[in-house]
Amino acid sequence: MKNLLFAAALSLGTLTAFAQDDIDNTQSEATEVIATAQDGFNEITSSDVPQAVSDALAKDHPDVKISKAFVNDKGQYKLEVAKEDGTTTELYADSEGNWIDM
């Protein structure tokens, strides 16, 4: 009888742990989506970044590579870029490739 109770308790504990992992993962994904939506930028592929912005990046920041790209309804681009040393930063530009402060 003790073995049956032990097995039941062990099963319940395991199921609870897996349920908590699923909740944590879902909350992380939801937080990321909300953060992007709150700042008004929607993620795009780096190939969707206008050529003028890509050219400005290559000219003014030749040591970075685009990690993620975003655009808002005003045609402004937020670029998450990684430097050669592994650090990351955000740059903002208009569709003409002019850098803007945000």
pLDDT tier, 39 (very low <50, low <70, confident <90, very high otherwise): confident
- Per the CB < 8 A criterion, the answer to whether 77 and 94 are in contact is yes
One-letter amino acid for residue 99 of the chain:
W
Query: What pTM value is reported for the model?
Result: 0.63
- Per the CB < 8 A criterion, the answer to whether 90 and 77 are in contact is no
Q: Quick one: which of 38, 40, 47, 33 has its CA closest to 73? A: 40
Question: Across residues 67-88, what is the average pLDDT?
Answer: 95
Greater confidence, 90 or 15?
Answer: 90
pLDDT tier, 7 (very low <50, low <70, confident <90, very high otherwise): low
One-letter amino acid for residue 29 of the chain:
E
- Collapsed DSSP state (helix, strand, coil) of residue 50: coil
Instruction: List alpha helices for 1-102, DSSP H.
Output: 2-38, 51-60
